[in-house]
């Protein structure tokens, strides 16, 4: 490396350190020490290897950079300042109310693709971005900066496996091995060989370097760019707090502004105004996209019996023909979720993520960054594995569609480990989420298509067994709506159900009607947002709502109804799965959980 | 291996296969093919290496066996029948209502320690059991049987890392590499070397064998028993459906009873009555336990300000002195959760699980199998990583105590990635769970101690910042209770709060009282079970409840209150975190989320 370049990189790294100290000092909190360790790595990346046009963050050929160690946000913001993307004033607004420079990076900044701060998520999301690049035939690279501590997360190894096996050569992981976690030393300290053996076993090219030597860093980054058929991990030995005596390589210095920032800034040579020109991508190529076509949803005859998971699979395949931007991912259960229908029709746009639900959801998040419309499916029960990724997807303002099959006790014999009984409670609190739970095949097909244009995190819950088709093909089911399936002015109560319990509610209503007790039935297929108007009308006219759900009593349909009518104060009685099920037939399970037609009839009789 | 032994093992394996086919046929469902592949492995384990007294499942020296591939339950039940633990009639009750032989194994059977069926959980739980064995100085071994497909789960690699690094030589993983997952071929098929390289890199002894050769199996299991300082993985190449032409090594044969069980049984040589004598442990040693002592909880002066996380840490250390069976685990944030207080006092009983929350919770589940009383702590937000393990802990009837710190927007500047805003919604639906959310230091100390005698999954939510001490030391706070902090017969409404919002509620009530608007305040520290009587009384007298929570509006405190009074129908108004927060000071965050004193005052004024 020429002496002139070396001097520039050294100056740039010093400025990044100074600015990390300054912004944290102005905030009175933050993670300067975690920023100092990675400053040289990022200086060389930005000056010599990143291809990014800060004026056009949406340029398809731009590289992507994920700060998986999101707490090193002072460094990221210092880089943005050096690149001229933000100014001095904004830099010093770090962590203040209304500032875009949050404690951990979020896409409030146009140059940040996804939110980070929950460790171990950057690499799996980066895998999704790298998959998208390959699908689009784009030359961009995905760079992920992570810490050594977060390599303990299993999600990192789900990603290592997927990237290694797929040979994602457009992905580079840079590990800032600074030896110290939050509480103390990491498991392997500076033993970069321990990490190299692991990544190597997973099929990665591994490079171990001194993370404070610009020459070694430059060589490693260049090597990563030139490596074919394999992803590369750069294991960089660094010192936490590098350059500041007060904190350098010391325990107990994590996540705090420096005690004496002025001395630190002096040690680092004072503030600078190095001008950094990040190279824009050399070519601006149009991303490859798949063709659109007319949408012809499957149609099911009223009165036949079809599983909603089947209708979902067939509708997804139809949607794939209509929209070239739809992709599907599955957790090695596509024959159960019925994503296999899409996989057969559009193998290029189907991604087998194997039994790795964190990577499944993370890949969807990564792909939507590039404008893809991902549907990710597995059993509803196993989506709980990806809870933290779903939560963070909302912070990332990501638009992903999740589909959970095998909901509830209605699966029957397989037993509680396979039953999605907590999924509605998991999905409803997700910021800005949409939660849908159809009861028949035509409704499922319509909602599957509807989801494609829903922004944010949306969720479709499907049922394993066949259920009667009650709606005609082509009917519309808007998000936030509901359907009144039984209603008369004489209704004594209203049963509110969704999914499999709609059919139990209808049977109960018919039986009660025969006995001279008319009750209404509402199909609340949109669990969030919920149809407040319809529920209010029912609560006002009958005064009694009975909610029935194949889900735990906490956090699901019943709670959604209670919330919708809470200021009105009708009597609400919740039927839900309260015990711990074992194995039994689906109908026995519904009966044992007391969410079947008989339980509904008995509840109505008790109440009236 | 002598010819006589070989013949016995072959006969036993054939019987296990026949019984797996028979029970699945009787059920009309189940996973016979996944059972057939592992029959030889388990025949040799049970006949030659397992040390287990079926008459005394609680014998401390017993080995532990976890069927991580829980869908191979027909094989497990066939083993139990061969060992004389269950009879012919029960074997054929498989998957029927009320049978103990559920689709996936649960501890309804006394020889099953933990429920399985969510793949990738057996090894992390086995790590916990192996940790317990070491702590107790017991000679037992932990055997985990898993499939090849589930090695894609990140949780397996969290466990591989922990076991390898700790050198848990008492742990053996047996991988039934049958090449076929549910949907089709696994990622690595029969390439046992791919798995060997990965486990080897994580510090394990690896043995690759033909999983249908009793001699090789016996040698490998013996080798595992004799290996020191390292866990062992046996990578056994097998054929799914081995022994039955209809399904042998075929795709599309997962998770179904055989079409022609009679022919299959004939191929396997027909039913047998091999008597299997499983060797009991050679020595019956008393487990090492730590001493008990008097309980002296920390005391905090009313009016001072102390963070509830600090009180939790100090109380846990006090509890550690009182109860020798208490152990603590943390996800590399013990300085934040304050588990470090316990770690300093009782280093032998503290376990650093690093940033691996699935393994954190799984280790707690494993340790409680042996009677330990585990407390596992991390940030509330990051417990979502372990959601599936928490869900399964309930199916396992496990007693574990989880502690989530840094709850809510009240953490301030760190931003949304670090805020536990969905944790109550995650914990409430867990079967038989207890959810506690204290507002002051003395209450926290009391509840921390109370949790030790709570069975099932319990959860304590703590706050990052200092909050005023409002209760006197020594006061009791039973699970399921609440505290009325402000009350007069003239109350116009009642504010229901918990944790940090209690103090906002008190300030609001005082301000309203000054303005001549008396309102009640309830501290609902027990979010589940909830104090229905107190809420009913408040609802009845004031008719209006205002819930205030530092949590999403779905699934938390507000929903718990709505549920408790749903049949009474008072007006309930929920104040909760509805937007997506950024960075700001704690007090700004509470204000921006509209859960602070001012928002409460305004809400009361709007309503009255």
Position B565 in a domain:
yes
- A363 and A492 inside one domain: no
Q: Which residues of B touch A336 (CB under 8 A)?
A: 182
Structure confidence by residue, pLDDT tens digits, B162-197:
999 999 999 999 999 999 999 999 999 999 999 999
State the DSSP code for B245: T
pLDDT of B285 > 80? The answer is no
Structure confidence by residue, pLDDT tens digits, B49-64:
999 999 999 999 999 9
- Residue at which a domain ends, from A248, A267, A286: A267
pLDDT of A162 > 80? The answer is yes
pLDDT of B470 > 80? The answer is yes
- A539 and A590 inside one domain: yes
State the DSSP code for B247: T
- Whole-prediction pTM value? 0.98
Q: For chain B, how many structural domains are there in total?
A: 3
- ipTM passes above 0.95: yes
Q: Tell if the CB–CB gap between B197 and A201 is shorter than 8 Å.
A: yes
CA-CA distances (angstroms) from residue B368 to B126, B216, B290, B375?
A: 12, 34, 15, 10
Query: Which pLDDT score, from 0 to 100, does residue A282 have?
Result: 86
Closest-CA distance of chain A to residue B377, Å: 13
Q: What is the mean pLDDT of residues A509-524?
A: 98
Q: Binning pLDDT at 50, 70 and 90, where does residue A183 land?
A: very high
- A458 and A576 inside one domain: no
Enter the tokens of residue B248.
Answer: 């042998």
Structure confidence by residue, pLDDT tens digits, A286-341:
899 999 999 999 999 999 999 999 999 999 999 999 999 999 999 999 999 999 99
For residue B40, what are the contacts with CB-CB under 8 A and spacing of at least 6? B9, B13, B211, B212, B213, B214, B217, B238, B242
Spatial distance between the Cα atoms of B312 and B306, rounded to a whole number of angstroms: 11
Position A449 in a domain:
yes
Q: How many CA atoms lie within 13 A of B8 on its CB side?
A: 14
CB neighbours of residue B98 within 10 Å: 10
Q: How many CA atoms lie within 13 A of B520 on its CB side?
A: 25
- B544, β-bridge pairs: B571
Q: Where are the alpha helices (DSSP H) in A404-499?
A: 423-427, 441-451
Position B277 in a domain:
no
Query: Which pLDDT score, from 0 to 100, does residue A284 have?
Result: 73
Closest residue in A to B416 (Cα–Cα): A395
- B79 and B118 inside one domain: yes
Name the catalytic one among A158, A208, A340, A357: A357
Radius of gyration of chain A measured on its C-alpha atoms: 27
Q: How many angstroms from the chain centroid is the CA of residue B103?
A: 20
Query: Which pLDDT score, from 0 to 100, does residue B38 have?
Result: 98
Query: Which pLDDT score, from 0 to 100, does residue B588 have?
Result: 98
Task: Give the percent of chain A with pLDDT over 70.
Answer: 100
Closest-CA distance of chain A to residue B106, Å: 9
| Contact status, residue A585 vs residue A421, Cβ threshold 8 Å | no
Task: Give the percent of chain B with pLDDT over 90.
Answer: 98
- A136 labelled catalytic: no
Structure confidence by residue, pLDDT tens digits, B207-231:
999 999 999 999 999 999 999 999 9
Note whether A552 contacts B: Cβ–Cβ < 8 A: yes
Q: Tell if the CB–CB gap between B182 and A333 is shorter than 8 Å.
A: yes
- A456 and A493 inside one domain: no
| Contact status, residue A575 vs residue A551, Cβ threshold 8 Å | no
- B509 and B406 inside one domain: no
Position A274 in a domain:
no
Query: Which pLDDT score, from 0 to 100, does residue B69 have?
Result: 98
- A234, β-bridge pairs: A174, A207
In this structure, is the dihedral angle defined by the CA atoms of residues B242, B244, B247 and B248, taken in order, positive or negative?
Answer: positive
Q: What is the mean pLDDT of residues B575-597?
A: 98
Q: Binning pLDDT at 50, 70 and 90, where does residue B3 land?
A: confident
Query: Which pLDDT score, from 0 to 100, does residue B408 have?
Result: 98
Q: How many angstroms from the chain centroid is the CA of residue B63?
A: 21
Query: Which pLDDT score, from 0 to 100, does residue B282 have?
Result: 86
Position B272 in a domain:
no
- B173, β-bridge pairs: B144, B233
Q: What is the mean pLDDT of residues A122-129?
A: 98
Say which of A335, A562, A570 has its CB closest to residue B559: A562
Query: Which pLDDT score, from 0 to 100, does residue A1 have?
Result: 78
Closest-CA distance of chain A to residue B48, Å: 31
- B58 and B156 inside one domain: yes
Enter the tokens of residue A171.
Answer: 């992905």
- A398 and A488 inside one domain: no
Burial class of residue A283 in the structure, from the number of CB atoms within 10 Å of its CB (0-12 exposed, 13-18 middle, 19+ buried)? exposed
Q: Binning pLDDT at 50, 70 and 90, where does residue B1 land?
A: confident
CATH of residue B142's domain is 3.40.50.970
Enter the tokens of residue B83.
Answer: 């060992």
Q: Binning pLDDT at 50, 70 and 90, where does residue A177 land?
A: very high
- Residue at which a domain ends, from A267, A297, A320: A267
State the DSSP code for A493: -
Q: Which residues of A touch B555 (CB under 8 A)?
A: 425, 428-429, 554-555, 559
Position A18 in a domain:
yes
Q: Where are the alpha helices (DSSP H) in A469-571?
A: 500-514, 532-542, 557-564
Name the catalytic one among B158, B314, B357, B450: B357
How many helical (H) and strand (E) elements, i.e. helices and strands, does chain A have? 21, 19
Q: Quote the mean pLDDT of chain B.
A: 97
- A489 and A455 inside one domain: no
Query: Which pLDDT score, from 0 to 100, does residue B405 have?
Result: 98
Task: Give the percent of chain A with pLDDT over 90.
Answer: 98
Q: How many angstroms from the chain centroid is the CA of residue B248?
A: 35
CB neighbours of residue A285 within 10 Å: 14
Position A478 in a domain:
no
DSSP notation for B175-244: EEE-SB-SSSB-SSTT-HHHHHHHHHHTT-EEEEEETT-HHHHHHHHHHHHH--SS-EEEEEE--TTTT-
pLDDT of B284 > 80? The answer is no
Q: Binning pLDDT at 50, 70 and 90, where does residue A99 land?
A: very high
CA-CA distances (angstroms) from residue A506 to A485, A516, A570?
A: 8, 15, 22
Q: Which residues of B touch A27 (CB under 8 A)?
A: 413
Position A276 in a domain:
no
Q: What is the mean pLDDT of residues B337-353?
A: 98
- A16 and A105 inside one domain: yes
CATH of residue B506's domain is 3.40.50.920
Note whether A251 contacts B: Cβ–Cβ < 8 A: no
- A53 and A176 inside one domain: yes
| Contact status, residue A21 vs residue A78, Cβ threshold 8 Å | no
- B49 and B126 inside one domain: yes
pLDDT of A115 > 90? The answer is yes
Structural domain including B135 reads: 3-267
DSSP notation for B346-405: -GGGEEE--S-HHHHHHHHHHHHHTT-EEEEEEEGGGGGGGHHHHHHHHHTT--EEEEEE
Structure confidence by residue, pLDDT tens digits, A345-369:
999 999 999 999 999 999 999 999 9
For an interface test with A, give the residue of B27, B157, B528, B608 to mutate (most A CBs within 10 A): B157
Structure confidence by residue, pLDDT tens digits, A402-424:
999 999 999 999 999 999 999 99
Q: What is the mean pLDDT of residues A469-473?
A: 98
Q: Which residues of A touch B384 (CB under 8 A)?
A: 387-388, 391
Closest-CA distance of chain B to residue A357, Å: 8
Note whether B608 contacts A: Cβ–Cβ < 8 A: no
- Residue at which a domain ends, from A252, A267, A282: A267
Enter the tokens of residue B521.
Answer: 């305040």
CA-CA distances (angstroms) from residue A32 to A256, A537, B452?
A: 7, 56, 39
Query: Which pLDDT score, from 0 to 100, does residue A569 have?
Result: 84
């Amino acid at each position: 490396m020429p002496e002139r370049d070396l001097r520039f990189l050294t100056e740039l790294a010093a400025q990044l350190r100074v600015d990390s100290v300054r912004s944290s000092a102005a905030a009175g909190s933050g993670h300067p020490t975690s920023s100092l360790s990675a400053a040289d790595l990022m200086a060389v990346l930005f000056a010599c290897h990143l291809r990014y046009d800060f004026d056009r963050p949406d340029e398809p050929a731009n590289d992507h950079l994920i700060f998986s160690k999101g707490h090193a946000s002072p460094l990221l913001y210092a880089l943005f300042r050096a690149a001229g993307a933000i100014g001095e004033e904004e830099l010093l607004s770090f962590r203040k109310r209304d500032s875009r420079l949050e404690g951990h990076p979020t896409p409030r900044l146009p140059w940040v693709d996804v939110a980070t701060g929950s460790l171990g998520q950057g690499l799996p999301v980066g895998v999704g971005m790298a998959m998208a690049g390959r699908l689009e035939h784009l030359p961009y690279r995905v760079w992920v900066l992570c810490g050594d501590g977060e390599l303990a997360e299993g999600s990192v190894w789900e990603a290592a496996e997927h990237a290694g096996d797929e040979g994602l050569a457009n992905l580079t992981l840079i590990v800032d091995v600074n030896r110290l976690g939050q509480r103390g030393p990491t498991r392997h300290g500076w033993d970069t060989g321990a990490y190299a053996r692991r990544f190597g076993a997973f099929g990665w090219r591994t490079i171990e370097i001194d993370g404070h030597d610009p020459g070694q860093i430059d060589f490693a980054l260049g090597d990563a760019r030139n490596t074919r058929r394999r992803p590369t991990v750069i294991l960089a030995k660094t010192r936490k707090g590098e350059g500041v005596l007060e904190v350098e390589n010391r325990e107990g210095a994590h996540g705090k502004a420096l005690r004496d920032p002025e001395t630190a800034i002096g040690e680092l040579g004072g503030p600078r105004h190095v001008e950094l020109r990040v190279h824009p991508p050399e070519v601006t190529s149009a991303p490859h996209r798949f063709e659109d076509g007319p949408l012809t949803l499957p149609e099911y005859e009223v009165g036949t019996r079809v599983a909603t998971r089947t209708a979902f699979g067939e509708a997804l395949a139809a949607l794939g023909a209509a929209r070239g931007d739809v992709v599907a991912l599955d957790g090695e259960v596509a024959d159960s979720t019925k994503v296999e229908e899409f996989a057969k029709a559009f193998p290029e746009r189907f991604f087998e993520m194997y039994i790795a639900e964190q990577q499944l959801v993370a890949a969807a998040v990564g792909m939507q960054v590039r404008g893809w419309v991902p549907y990710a499916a597995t059993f509803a029960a196993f989506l709980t594995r990806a809870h933290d990724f779903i939560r963070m997807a909302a912070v990332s303002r990501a638009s992903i569609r999740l589909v959970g099959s095998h909901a509830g006790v209605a699966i029957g014999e397989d037993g509680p480990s396979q039953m999605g009984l907590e999924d509605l409670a998991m999905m409803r609190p997700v910021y800005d989420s949409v939660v849908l739970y159809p009861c028949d095949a035509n409704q499922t097909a319509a909602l599957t298509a509807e989801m494609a244009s829903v922004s944010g995190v949306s969720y479709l819950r499907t049922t394993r067994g066949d259920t009667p088709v009650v709606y005609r093909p082509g009917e519309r089911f808007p998000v936030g709506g509901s359907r009144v399936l039984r209603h008369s002015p004489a209704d004594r109560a209203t049963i509110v159900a969704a999914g499999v319990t709609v059919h139990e509610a209808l049977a109960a209503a018919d039986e009660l009607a025969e006995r001279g007790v008319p009750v209404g039935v509402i199909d609340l297929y949109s669990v969030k947002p919920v149809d407040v108007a319809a529920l209010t009308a029912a609560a006002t006219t009958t005064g009694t709502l009975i909610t029935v759900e194949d889900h735990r009593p906490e956090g699901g349909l019943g709670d959604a109804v209670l919330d919708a009518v809470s200021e009105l104060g009708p009597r609400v009685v919740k039927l839900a799965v309260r015990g711990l099920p074992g194995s039994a037939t689906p109908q026995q399970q519904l009966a044992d959980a007391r969410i079947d037609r008989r339980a509904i009839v008995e509840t109505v009789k008790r109440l009236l």
